[in-house]
Chain A
C-alpha cells in the first residue's frame, strides 16, 4: 500500500466516515464498439456497430459491403454460361448448390429439360454439400463459443474427404463449376460413385462421434440454450429461410414445398425445432445431416443410367427468348434463388441473386438485443453467413 492510499483512508477514519459515495463517472454511459470488418469471429469482413450498456447490447447495426464484388453487375456483362463460375464464388463453401440454383433458373427461363441421371447427380452433390456446410458450421460455431481448434479440426478433416470427391469429379476443390444448363458437365465414374457411397455410409459414424464430442456438452448448452430465441411469426415476416426458420418450428423446406429435382422421389423428414434459439439451430443442422445421408443413400440405390446432358442443350450462343424467371432451391443456408430477365441477347438484362444469408441477417439486431457481446458472436455464428453471398 502506498502512502497516498493511506492518507485519505486515515483521514476518513479519523473523521468517522466509514463509507464513501460511489461516483463512477462512466456509469449510465453507453459505449459504442465497432466489431469488424477485421474481427476473428465475424466470419469474414462483416461489421457490427454495437452500442453497449456495460456488456449488454442495446443497439446493433450490421454494416455490409466490405465484400461487395459487383456480382450482379458482372452477371449482366457476361454471357449466361460465363456467370456459372461466378456463382461458385457467391457462397464459397457450397458451390454445388449455387450452381444448381443458377442452372435451375436458366432452365426455367429457357424451358430446358434435364436428363434423369443429371437430376440424381445434382441431388447427390447438393446433399454432400449440405453435409459439408453443416459440418463446418458446427465447427465454426464451437470456435465462436471459445472452443478453439478441436471441433473445427475434426470438421475440416471430414470436409477434406468431401472436397476430394468434388475435386475428383469436377476438377476443383471449392469452385466446382459443375452444372450446365440441361445437365451436368461430366458423368460420375463408377469408381467415384463407389467412393462417394463409402463416404456417405461412414458419415453417420463420424456424426455420432461429433455429437458425443459436443451435443451433450454442458458448456455448449449453457452458452446456447435460450440465447437468440426467435419467434415463428417474426421469422416468417423477415423472410428467414433454411435451418434458421425450421428451428423456430415453421415447416417450410423447398425440397418438400417446390419438389424441385427429384426430391419427391426420396423419403426424408424435415426436422423442426421448438424454441428457435441457438441450440435449436445447431441441432436442426445435425438432424438435417442425418436426413441428407438417407437421401444420398436412396439416390445411390436408384441412380439410373443414361446421359447427364440434354443433347439439345447449347453451350455457346445460348440466347433465351425474352422473358423472366425466378428459380430457387433449398441451399444449406436457406432459399437461394436467381432472378433472370432476358431480352433475347446473349447476356441477361438483369441478373439477381437472392442470397439466403443476407436476408437471414435482417433479424440480427432483434436476436442480439439484451444479450451480451459474447452471445452476439454465437448468434451470428448460428445464423451461418458467408460474406461472399451477403455482399455479393
Chain B
C-alpha cells in the first residue's frame, strides 16, 4: 500500500482546501492516522472506499475517545481492504467540544459495519452521528441519561458493602459508614 504521506497528498489534491492532517503515533506501533474535517468526512470516506488503489472496503473498528483535557471527543475508524488485503488506514474525526457541538457525520452509509459501533459511541460517549439510520442507545437502557465512558462520568453510588476497599473506592465506601462510629474505633480487629 502507498505510504500515508502519499495518500495524504493525494487526498489534498482530490479535496483542495480540506483540512486533512496526519496525526503521528509516537509509539513503536507507528500506526499513524489521518485527521479529517467533519464537514467533508463522508465524501473522503467514499473516496477511500472507491479509489482503485485503496479500495478500503472493510471498516473494522470504530472507537470513541474522550480527550478531557483537550476538550473534544474523537472517533477513530480502522479501515482495511479485503479486496487488496492491505491496511490499516486510520481516520479520526473530532467534535468541536464535549458539551453541545458533538455532532459528526455518520459513516454508516459508506460502511454498514459502522451501524452498531456508531450507536455504541453515541450511547457511551454522546456523539451524535448525523445521517445514522437508527441512532438509539444500544447498551444502556433508553431512560438512561449519562454517557458512562466519558472520563468525567460519575458512577452511581452502591458501596454499602465494601469489605476490601482501598484508594478511590474506600473514599466512596466511607459515605456509608455510620456517623456514630469514627474510623479509628470502628476498625475491624483481626
Contacts and interface: CB of A to CB of B under 8 A. Distances in A.
Contacts of B149: 72-73
A68 B141 CA distance: 11
Interface string B37-59: 00000000000000000000111
Contact of B138 (A64, A70, A342): A64
B27 A322 contact: yes
A65 interface: yes
A108 B29 contact: yes
Interface centre among A65, A239, A321 (most CB of B within 10 A): A239
Interface of A: 64-65, 68, 70, 72-73, 108-111, 234, 236-239, 250, 252, 257, 320-326, 328, 335, 337, 339, 341-342, 349-350, 352, 354, 358-359, 361-363, 391
Where chain B touches its partner, the secondary structure class is loop
B70 to A, nearest CB: 12
Q: Top 4 closest A-B pairs, CB basis?
A: A323-B27, A239-B113, A111-B28, A325-B29
Interface in B120-172: 124, 137-141, 148-149
Given A325-B31, A326-B88, 9 more contacts: A65-B141, A68-B139, A239-B60, A252-B85, A323-B25, A324-B25, A325-B29, A339-B63, A391-B139
A354 B26 contact: no
13 contacts: A111-B27, A236-B58, A237-B113, A322-B26, A326-B29, A326-B61, A328-B60, A335-B60, A337-B60, A358-B117, A362-B113, A362-B115, A391-B139
A323 B116 contact: no
Interface in B52-76: 57-61, 63, 65, 76
Interface string B66-106: 00000000001010001101001010000000000000000
Contacts of A358: 116-117
Interface string B16-29: 00000000011111
A379 to B, nearest CB: 17
Contacts of B10: none
Where chain A touches its partner, the secondary structure class is mixed
Contacts of B113: 237-239, 359, 362
B31 A326 contact: yes
A321 B61 contact: no
A265 B31 CA distance: 26
A73 B66 CA distance: 12
Nearest to B144: A65
B176 interface: no
A238 B61 contact: no
A335 B59 CA distance: 12
A234 B140 CA distance: 28
A362 B116 contact: yes
